[in-house]
Amino acid sequence: MQSDARLARDFELTALPESFAEGPFPVYRALLEHAPVKRFSDGSIMLSRWADLDRVYRDTTSFSSDKKVEFLPKFGRSPLYEHHTTSLVFNDPPLHTRVRKIMVGAMTPRALAAMEPGLIKLVDGLLERLAEKGEVDLIEDFAAAIPVEVIGNLFNIPHEERGPLRDWSLAILGALEPVLTGEQQERGNRSVTDFKAFLKEIADERRRNPGDPATDVLTRLINGNEGEQLSEVELLQNCIFILNAGHETTTNLIGNALFELTRWPDEKKRLQDDPELIITAVDEFLRFQSPNQLGNRMAVAPAEFHGEVIEPGTRIHLAIGAANRDPRQFPDPDRLNLSRKPNKHLAFAGGPHLCVGFSLAKMEGRIAISRFLKRFPGYRLTGMPQRTGRVRFRGFSHLPAVVQ
């Protein structure tokens, strides 16, 4: 068995052992303890401690989200490059601020409350179908089927046209993995091109027949904010980003939670005995198995962490999954504790780029997990759970189960 110090020393993000996708936590623990500033051979660094990530997320003057320089060698001048360098998440102000202001207005508590009855109906319909099948895949038949509809509703995309959204989203976000095959690049590029053409038709139609800006995110983005409008490319690429952002992440939240509940029977029983616990439980699932494990920034001013000087131009990987298990912030971090409070996890990042959809994602998690558990208290996994194999996004592609 490798010692923790060696595990930290030998860790390379571009040459990961297969075991990493299955269980990155021993490596995270080693980094937290022995290499809080981990340097990789390509000159980039990884930070893993909660306080360091919190600092980076808040300080947008020293740590930039702009990926134009970093992504050029990775993607060339391709559709993937245009997409990832135009979306708000990979930009600093002013583009970031403009798009974000328009978006947040569609996620008010009132807007979310208006979505809740539809979400309950959707989840109950899926539960009904699961009951009919008996032997199910908790990802395909449940966890992944929820966000695609929720996000489709946010943009009022016609139901019959939602089919390709999930595959496009998986291909485009998949292109952010640390190592990419040519095939993955090509799929990502094709998906951006197809997605853009698809959205252009919908946006043109929406300009002719605008929706209600209080609830229709596309109409909001078309209208702009205080006289400022997005260009056509900014509009389409940000729509693609928002449509993607809530897909795989929310699927992972629900899938990971249903998996963990089978591994922690006492916690499952607590939740069954006290359904109100779902509020803190969702945050604990997000902390314990964070759907988004890695973030990135670029140092644009000199900085120092634990005595190490970081030069401007250094790429910084932010190990969200590790920070959320940092014992300096979370007592007994490797224990799932559904009533954990406080729980200042970084699953949604923090600072000015804090996830716009965090309340929506938590509402989806709450409703999906609690209604599933109530309907199928004795569900059990059958066969081999299959992980997506990704390291940036942590979740399952298949979770075979019997529901009863």
Binding site for ligand HEM (CB under 6 A): 65, 88-89, 96, 100, 103, 151, 154, 242, 245-246, 249-250, 253, 291-292, 295, 347-349, 353, 355-357, 360-361
Q: By three-state DSSP, how is residue 140 classified?
A: helix
Q: How far is CA 80 from the centre of its chain?
A: 18
What's the min distance (Å) between Cβ of 86 and ligand HEM? 12
What's the min distance (Å) between Cβ of 161 and ligand HEM? 18
The two tokens of residue 95 are 């583009």
Of the pair 99, 130, the CB lying nearest ligand HEM is at: 99
| Residue 304 bridge partners (DSSP) | 309
Rounded-to-integer distance, Cα 164 and Cα 308, Å:
46
| Residue 305 bridge partners (DSSP) | 308
Of the pair 79, 291, the CB lying nearest ligand HEM is at: 291
CA angle 270–272–275, rounded 5-degree value: 95
What's the min distance (Å) between Cβ of 382 and ligand HEM? 26
**Main-chain phi, psi angles of 267, to 5 degrees:** -70, -35
What's the min distance (Å) between Cβ of 278 and ligand HEM? 15
What's the min distance (Å) between Cβ of 105 and ligand HEM? 13
Rounded-to-integer distance, Cα 294 and Cα 83, Å:
19
Of the pair 75, 241, the CB lying nearest ligand HEM is at: 241
**Main-chain phi, psi angles of 399, to 5 degrees:** -140, 85
- Distances in Å between the alpha carbon of 109 and those of 104, 114, 224, 240? 11, 9, 21, 24
Of the pair 174, 246, the CB lying nearest ligand HEM is at: 246
Of the pair 8, 289, the CB lying nearest ligand HEM is at: 289
Of the pair 154, 310, the CB lying nearest ligand HEM is at: 154
Give, rounded to a whole angstrom, the gap between the first and last alpha carbons of the chain.
41
What's the min distance (Å) between Cβ of 89 and ligand HEM? 4
Question: What count of other Cβ atoms lies within 10 Å of the Cβ of residue 186?
Answer: 15
| Residue 297 bridge partners (DSSP) | 316
Of the pair 8, 254, the CB lying nearest ligand HEM is at: 254
What's the min distance (Å) between Cβ of 91 and ligand HEM? 8
Backbone φ/ψ region at 224: left (φ over 0), alpha (ψ -120 to 50), beta: left
> Where do the DSSP E strands lie in 205-350?
294-299, 303-305, 308-310, 315-319
What's the min distance (Å) between Cβ of 34 and ligand HEM? 25
Of the pair 71, 348, the CB lying nearest ligand HEM is at: 348
- Distances in Å between the alpha carbon of 212 and those of 5, 154, 294? 56, 11, 35
Rounded-to-integer distance, Cα 51 and Cα 298, Å:
18
Residue of minimal Cβ distance to ligand HEM? 357
Rounded-to-integer distance, Cα 255 and Cα 144, Å:
8
Of the pair 64, 185, the CB lying nearest ligand HEM is at: 64
The two tokens of residue 187 are 């799929």
Task: Please report the DSSP string for 30-61 in residue order.
Answer: HHHHH-SEEEPTTS-EEE--HHHHHHHHH-TT
Of the pair 60, 272, the CB lying nearest ligand HEM is at: 60
Rounded-to-integer distance, Cα 107 and Cα 301, Å:
33
Of the pair 166, 353, the CB lying nearest ligand HEM is at: 353
What's the min distance (Å) between Cβ of 186 and ligand HEM? 25
What's the min distance (Å) between Cβ of 65 and ligand HEM? 6
What's the min distance (Å) between Cβ of 92 and ligand HEM? 10
